[in-house]
Structure 1
Amino acid sequence: MESLAEFLEDLLGHPIEILSSEPVGGGCIHDSRRLKTSGDTFFLKQSSWGDRALLETEAAGLTALARTKTVRTPALVGSGKVGQQFVLLLEWMDLGPLENRSGAILGEQLAALHRAGGSETFGWEQDNFIGATPQPNAPNTSWPEFFRERRLLPQISLAQKQGHSLPDAEPLLSGIESFFPDGAEPIPAPLHGDLWGGNAGSDGAGNPVLFDPAFYFGDPETDLAFSHFFGGFPTSFYRSYQEQISERPGWKTRQPLYNLYHVLNHLNLFGSSYQTGAVRMIEELNAAAKGAS
């Protein structure tokens, strides 16, 4: 389609008029807009055609989450090419921050998501992105091996290619199995994959909503670990979740291991201000691994 109006009319099946298109906060990667039309209001995300994989995999992740019938996500209206751009059209939702009630509901719903199953292997049927960084998801039956080969190693390799020194990374990679004592290995669970406070909210009725996933099947603890970053979620969220799923042995040690993935990603996306933190986390994790061996 050459115009957004033509795209909308073809998608919705009737003539439509665009009344306004207002920029809104939607991350630093895409052009995000509140699109008001003569019919409905939508959330529009646009990228260059060459970068369409980021939005295509976001749509696939939202669809995968919706299929579990556990957590609410914005409805996918459609996607496609408009001129030289790729557009993703979602349901518009007026969202506010999570509060005690919505946090408690989300904790229960996230536990249901993590119990939903759907895969015998870790990973997913397609690669996607964590932020703007490629996230490989080739399946593996071993979680420690998957997390080393598909999560930490690509981020560490990218950081080193960009000139960031991570001198103690190799011992951590080779000793990752020590973080999983007997009884601590997970079974594959559907994950949001990028669960921080900026990717969750509540609607006008106080119902929680999740968006911007980096979906795959992995260890539920990875979602919980990253939820503590950037201020965390309401206490009611954690209490409600833990009433459904209890902590596994070694959780406190694995939390920084899982968050290292995101710190390395921030190092690769935003630069050297994250290097000192990454180096310190690696040193502390190596010390914890030695203590566990």
Structure 2
Amino acid sequence: MAEGQTPKVLSRELLERIGRAIDLRIDRAEYLTSGAANHVFRLHSGRGSVIAKLSMTDKTDLFAREAHALRHLAATGTVPVPEVLLATPDYLILEDLGDEDKELPDSRWREFGARVGCLHQVHAERFGYEHDNYIGIWTQRNPWTADWVDFFHANRVLCFLDSGANRQVLTRQDRDGIETLFARIRSLIPEQKPSLCHGDLWINNVLRARSGKIHLIDPAIHYGLPEADLAMTQMYGLFPEAFYEGYREAHPLLPDWKERLPLYQLKELVLMIAQFSHAESLQSLRALIRRFA
């Protein structure tokens, strides 16, 4: 975190430094929220406002990778994202799209679902990406891999099993259950092409702009399975049915897709336990093992 900064206050020196970098005289900073890796502010000026994310970690490439991901998504012409104005090791400056609290009509969610469906029509030859990315402070590895189950097993689950609280929380029975699940998962998940995925598609990474249009933020892009991306839309707050209606118009879904979504949520459950010793995630993990293993 930059010198002189506290979670809800930015120093005048820092505001002036950011202002010089983007050619904007910043009058004040409004604290918005904090995540695991950054604090988020709205910076106000006489010529409008911008969004600033201030790093809380020692990962000097955090914002460069986020900027790259946002620009990559924008270049596909599929899902709307905020424009990147500046990325440095200390802060990321983004276009301020505003935020809308009121409920959006189904037509907006249907349009957004179709755009995500179009994103998933962008394919690669293999699973992975050109570099790793981050989920909060956690590194999400993306080595190019021919087989999705191998990719998911090594880079979304195994790499976190001995991280954080998982060392203390997961029992031998839990670990054996995960391995048994992976012994079956290849027969449970149908073959799908590697598709460009947002990588962390939960409700808080969906920005409802003041224009009424829905944008995506905080990407962890890679080429994976569309169903894995959709699995996150059913965790921590459900997307409305209109989203899936629009999605299916652009990207037809395979039979029984909803029944398979919990399998993909294994990664998120393991990560939540690692970060927070999350009791609810542990219960869900054990229920998943009982159901499929």
TM over 0.5: yes
Deviations 1:79-138 (A, max 9, x none): 115xxxx10111111122562122011011011111122x21111011111232211100
Residues 1:40 and 2:48 aligned together: yes
Residues 1:8 and 2:29 aligned together: no
Equivalent of residue 133 in structure 1, options 132, 138, 141: 138
**How far apart in 2 are the matches of 1:271 and 1:160?**
7
Q: What does residue range 77-96 of structure 1 map to in structure 2 within 5 Å? A: 77-81=85-89, 86-96=90-100
The question of whether the paired residues in 2 share the 8 Å contact of 1:164 and 1:272 is answered with no
Q: Secondary structure at the match of 1:89?
A: strand
TM-score between both structures, scaled by the size of structure 2 = 0.86
Q: Secondary structure at the match of 2:289?
A: helix
270-279 or 191-200, which moves further after superposition?
270-279
Structure 1 pair 175–101 and aligned structure 2 pair: CA distance change class (3 A): same
Q: What does residue range 1-293 of structure 1 map to in structure 2 within 5 Å? A: 3-9=14-20, 11-12=21-22, 14=23, 16-48=24-56, 50-81=58-89, 86-96=90-100, 99=104, 100-117=106-123, 119-158=124-163, 160-165=166-171, 166-167=174-175, 168-180=177-189, 184-273=190-279, 274-286=281-293
Structure 1 pair 145–28 and aligned structure 2 pair: CA distance change class (3 A): closer
> 1:217 is matched by which residue type in structure 2?
Y
Tell me by how many angstroms 1:244 deviates.
Answer: 2.2
Gaps of 5+ in 2: 3-12
Tell me by how many angstroms 1:156 deviates.
Answer: 2.6
Tell me by how many angstroms 1:28 deviates.
Answer: 4.2
**How far apart in 1 are the matches of 2:14 and 2:215?**
31
> 2:236 is matched by which residue type in structure 1?
F
Gaps of 5+ in 1: 287-293
Tell me by how many angstroms 1:162 deviates.
Answer: 4.3
Q: Secondary structure at the match of 2:219?
A: coil
Q: Secondary structure at the match of 2:33?
A: coil
273-282 or 108-117, which moves further after superposition?
273-282
The question of whether the paired residues in 2 share the 8 Å contact of 1:156 and 1:169 is answered with no
**How far apart in 2 are the matches of 1:49 and 1:255?**
32
RMSD over aligned CA atoms reads 2.1
TM-score between both structures, scaled by the size of structure 1 = 0.86
**How far apart in 2 are the matches of 1:285 and 1:131?**
29
The question of whether the paired residues in 1 share the 8 Å contact of 2:128 and 2:143 is answered with yes
**How far apart in 1 are the matches of 2:276 and 2:193?**
33
